[in-house]
Amino acid sequence: MKIPYRFWIASMIFMTTFTNYMMRSNLSVSISAMQLSKGATQGQCSEDGYVTTAAPTTTMDPNATTTTTEKPEEEMFRRFTYTQHQQGLILAGYGIGYVLTSMPGGFLSEYYGPWKVIFFSTLASMILTVACVPAALLHWTALLVTRMVIGALGGVIYPAIQIIIANWAPKEEKGKFVSATLGNNMGTVVVFASVGAINQYFNWAWGFFFVAGVVTLYLILIFFLLSDSPVKSKYISEEERQYLATMVPPPKTKLVAPYLKIFSSLPFYALLFAHTANLYGLFVTMLTVPKFFREYLNQDLKRSGFLSALPPLTRMFAGMGFGAVGDYIEKKREGSSTAVRKSFCIFSHFLPGLCMICMMFVECNFIFATALLVMNQGFNGGAVCTNLRNSQDLAPNYSGTVFGIITLIGGCTQFIAPIIAGADDQGLDRWRWVFLIAGIIYCIGGFIFVAIGTTKQQPWNEPRQPETT
């Protein structure tokens, strides 16, 4: 069977989010390897159970073995003594830049075309990922600024992808295209597993070089394969081009979004709350779970990286399954599309919320913790049929702008979880609050979407052309 060219477009969407999240999550794993090692802190787990010492302890069993080798201070890529406050700021740097450009990212992609936005922002991000190494050696604030710029470049990616989907995907295939955005989970998996091992056996700097090398290979592929639309593609067959011309409305260029109408739209706010809740849960998993395994459950870098990788890997495969099911239902027209979209909230929001609440009772059982997080992210794969797709329902002509706005607002939640989990006392009580808050937010977002969400295309989807082009 001949593979349609839009399959390769979906593959490039997968690889775009894959590399975007590699560059995003790399530091979440590497920052512990960049830090000079410390003894166990209050409230950690140990082989003997729960450590409740009032002060840090450095006592070690003389017969114990470890695979972590202390690096000499005189080596080229030295390690640092970041405070908890400095670590929190450095980890937040990407998010600060990200939220600043999410909203203009939609406008830039709709006005100039998503290919340029994706290619050049990723190229600059790759260069700056390498630059993180000398920046860290210079001063921690230089690393913070570098990460902020990388985040600003990454903020334009997802709005651009929404436009690619709107231009390439027939309605009955949008679930599969949206599920391709879950390449971000594979990017997180690769970073947690591979960079964790690299940091343990070599040096923290090689984790940054590894990520930059993978992104370089991706840039070569996207340069040749990705196009803004079937009309602009050099490699699509004429038969498929004609088919898509009948199934997908032709893209409109240089659009100016009706912002006032968007912000006065009730279905937009339903999507906003659902997406914000989903993002918060995702940020808890991505930004604090590695810390939870490493510093509370007391797993080493290699093992904590592997355990932290299981939830996003499950989310990716489950999301692909949910996307295929959603497309099948869409094709068969079995029931109202709004009712179908809301029914998937059971998986995307309510069950993940329940799993997060149950995380309060894991104590020091890392197997139970891993199982709950795997179920949480597996169920959350249903988001490809709810908040990750709804911007395409409401306004395909402005899907990039709408997605940029909700990502800007929802992205601000990424600063909350690290703050809650980032205090010096990282005992069980504090981690219980991290997971309880995440579970409640999941459920609130789901309830709001079920109450006022819709899949009906909004009147403000009809474009308003600028006076001059």
Q: Is residue 280's pLDDT more than 80? A: yes
- Taking residues 36-45, report their average pLDDT: 56
Cβ pair 287, 98 in contact under 8 A: no
- The pLDDT assigned to 190 comes to 85
CB 184 within 8 A of CB 21: yes
* pLDDT for residue 48 is more than 90: no
Task: Grade residue 426 by pLDDT with cuts at 50, 70 and 90.
Answer: low
Q: Which domain holds residue 90?
A: 5-34+83-461
Neighbouring CB atoms inside 10 A of 125's CB total 24
Please name the residues in contact with 328: beta carbons below 8 A apart, sequence gap of 6 or more: none
Continuous segment of H or E residues that includes residue 46? strand 45-46
Average pLDDT of the chain, as a whole number:
82
Output 41 or 462, whichever has higher pLDDT: 462
Between 359 and 54, residue with greater pLDDT: 359
* Residue 424 predicted with pLDDT over 90: no
What pLDDT, in 10s, does the model give residues 202-247? Answer: 888 888 999 999 999 999 999 988 888 888 888 899 998 899 888 8
Question: What angle in degrees, to the nearest 10, is found between the helix axes of 183-190 and 301-332?
Answer: 170
Residue 239: C-alpha distances to residues 58, 159, 164, 167, 235 (Å): 69, 29, 20, 17, 12
Q: Please state which of the ranges 39-48, 81-90, 241-250, 431-440 shows the lowest mean pLDDT.
A: 39-48
**Percentage of the chain modeled with pLDDT above 90:** 31
Residue 59 has pLDDT above 70, yes or no: no
> Nearest-CA neighbor of 146 among 206, 62, 208, 198?
208
pLDDT at 53 over 50: no
Helices and strands per DSSP (H, E), number in the chain: 22, 2
**What integer is the mean pLDDT of 298-310?**
62
Q: Across residues 292-308, what is the average pLDDT?
A: 65
Of 20, 150, 141, nearest in space to 89 by CA: 141
* Both tokens assigned to 211: 């990520």
| Residue 58 domain flag | no
- The pLDDT, as a whole number, for residue 288 is 75
Mean pLDDT value across residues 127-148: 93
120-134, 307-321, 328-342 — which one is most confidently predicted on average? 120-134
Task: For residues 148-153, give the mean pLDDT.
Answer: 94
Residue 44 lies in a domain: no
Return the closest-CA partner of residue 388 out of 183, 239, 230, 175.
Answer: 175
**pLDDT tens-digit profile of 252-277?**
666 677 889 999 999 999 999 999 99
Residue 51 has what pLDDT? 54
Instruction: Give me the pLDDT at residue 430, please.
Output: 76
**pLDDT tens digits, residue range 96-134?**
898 888 888 878 887 888 999 999 999 999 999 999 999
What's the confidence (pLDDT) of residue 10? Answer: 92
> What are the structure tokens assigned to 6, written together?
């839009």
Range ranked top by mean pLDDT from 28-32, 279-283, 438-442: 438-442
Q: Is residue 50 part of a domain?
A: no
Q: Is residue 377 part of a domain?
A: yes
Please report the pLDDT score of residue 300 as a whole number: 57
Note whether residue 77 is domain-resident: no
pLDDT of residue 299: 65
Reported as a pLDDT band with limits 50, 70 and 90, residue 60 is: very low
The secondary structure of the chain in percent helix, strand, coil, rounded to multiples of 5, reads 75, 0, 25
> Tokens 């993978």 appear where?
214
Is residue 304 in a domain? Answer: yes
Cα gap 269→311, rounded to integer Å? 28
Query: What is the pLDDT at residue 440?
Result: 95
In the chain the first and final C-alpha atoms are separated, in Å, by 42
In total, how many domains does the chain have?
1
Q: Rounded to an integer, what distance in angstroms lies between the CA atom of residue 387 and that of residue 112?
A: 26
Q: What pLDDT sits at residue 44?
A: 65
- Highest mean pLDDT among 41-55, 144-158, 360-374 belongs to 144-158
371 is a domain residue: yes
Selected residue with higher pLDDT from 119 and 309:
119
How far is Cα 280 from Cα 286, in angstroms, rounded to an integer? Answer: 10
* pLDDT value for 55: 43
Average pLDDT over residues 79-87: 79
User: pLDDT for 169-189, tens place per residue?
Assistant: 888 888 889 899 988 888 888
pTM score of the predicted model:
0.77
* pLDDT band, residue 15 (cuts 50/70/90): very high
Q: pLDDT at position 1, please?
A: 54
Using DSSP bridges, classify how beta strands 45-46 and 49-50 pair: parallel, antiparallel or unpaired: antiparallel
**For range 318-333, the mean pLDDT:** 84
Q: How much is the pLDDT for 422?
A: 59
Mean pLDDT on 301-318: 72
What is the domain-level CATH number for residue 92?
Answer: 1.20.1250.20
